[in-house]
Amino acid sequence: MLLSGALLAASDQPAKRQPAETKPVDDETETQQAARKLVDAIKLTAIAGDQRPELELSQQPVLRFGDIPRDNDKGSVWIWTQSGRPQAVMELYRAADSRSWVHVIHSLSADALEGDFGGQAPRWRPPARAVTWNTFMAAQTPADRPAGRARQIKDLAQRFSAHEFWDPNNSRFELRLLIQPVHKYSEPDSGLLDGALFLVCHETNPEVALLLEAVQEKAGAKFRYALARLGHAELHVAFDGKEVWRQERVATTRPDEVYWLLFRGVNP
């Protein structure tokens, strides 16, 4: 059954670390089971000096989505984390011709990554510092309590707006924020008070990932944000009506880039 916009990791508490192996769900469709099998075969590792820790795959997709106008009604979104922090986000769906699976992945990591997708697929090797963090110019100070910070983060997220230019005829499409974050996290010992991953979508099909964090620094606590693309379209994101992020339309991608599109046969 299609769960358009169903958020599967949006509790008020920071997400706990999950085991690397995912578990099947009894009522999954055949397509969903096939997607899970593909995702389970992917191994992502961080490259931090001599250390190569394996990233942890979310036990369930954080979102199942549909986009009927674009012939995509069986998609899912998965994330990999390290100590709860999202390190990569991937959109997986069947192509319109049903002959291939489309993997749309973006690194969110401060470290370089290496991704093994199994079979004959190329290895994904995105460089370090995959996203740029920005401080809000006039945001309020993070609240003392987690519940207060969660409300502030959600309020900040709703002040973003976005649109894209895509086919047919490079038409303009308004995008919408899914108001519940698909993943929450924190790591107070490192200064990360709270964080949340939001998705900005066409229908419920993610086109942009929005990271919002409350961090503690020597000068005091503050909010910051980062954005990552999940679509080939020309993308525009504004905060309080002022454009803060723009990405040109993508023609092709390579496996040494932070954003990569991989097509694989239905039986890779």
C-alpha span between 60 and 9 (Å, rounded): 8
Q: Quick one: pLDDT at residue 120?
A: 87
Q: For residue 185, what are the β-bridge partners? A: 195
Say if strands 134-135 and 112-116 run parallel, antiparallel, or are unpaired: unpaired
Residues belonging to the chain: 268
Residue indicated by tokens 């199942």 = 64
pLDDT above 80 for 67: no
Which stretch of 21-35, 120-134, 191-205 has the lowest confidence by average pLDDT?
21-35
Tell me, what's the pLDDT at 71?
67
Question: What distance in Å separates the CA atoms of residue 126 and residue 182, rounded to the nearest whole number?
Answer: 23
pLDDT given at position 190: 92
Q: Global pTM?
A: 0.88
End-to-end CA distance of the chain: 25
Per-residue pLDDT band for 105 (boundaries 50, 70, 90) equals very high
Residue 20 has pLDDT above 70, yes or no: no
* pLDDT above 80: residue 32: yes
Q: Could you tell me where the DSSP H helices lie in the chain?
A: 30-40, 146-157
Give the whole-angstrom CA distance, residue 213 versus residue 194. Answer: 6
Is a pLDDT exceeding 70 seen at residue 12?
A: no
Measuring CA to CA, how many Å separate 265 from each of 94, 125, 136, 167? 10, 21, 43, 24
Where does the pLDDT of residue 7 fall: very low under 50, low under 70, confident under 90, or very high at 90 and above? very low
Query: Average pLDDT over the chain, rounded to whole?
Result: 88
Give the rounded percent of residues in the chain with a pLDDT score beyond 90: 73
The whole-number pLDDT of residue 26 equals: 54
Query: Is pLDDT of 55 > 90?
Result: yes
DSSP letters, 50-90, are TB-PBPEEPSS-SEEEEEGGGTEEEEEEEEEEETTEEEEEE
183 DSSP β-pair partners: 197
Neighbours of 266 (CB within 10 A): 14
Under the banding of pLDDT at 50, 70 and 90, the label for residue 13 is very low
pLDDT score, position 8:
36
Q: What are the residue ranges spanned by the domains of the chain? A: 6-265
pLDDT over 70 percentage in the chain: 88
pLDDT band at 73 (very low <50, low <70, confident <90, very high): low
* Residue 54: strand, helix, or coil: strand
CB atoms within 10 A of CB 227: 21
List, for residues 188-206, the tens digit of each pLDDT value: 999 999 999 999 999 999 9
Cis status of the peptide bond prior to 168, with omega within 30 of 0: yes
Strands 183-187 and 259-265: unpaired
Q: Looking at residue 24, what is its pLDDT?
A: 54
Identity of the residue numbered 145: R
Tokens matching residue 38 = 């593909």
Q: How far apart are CA 119 and CA 116, in angstroms?
A: 9
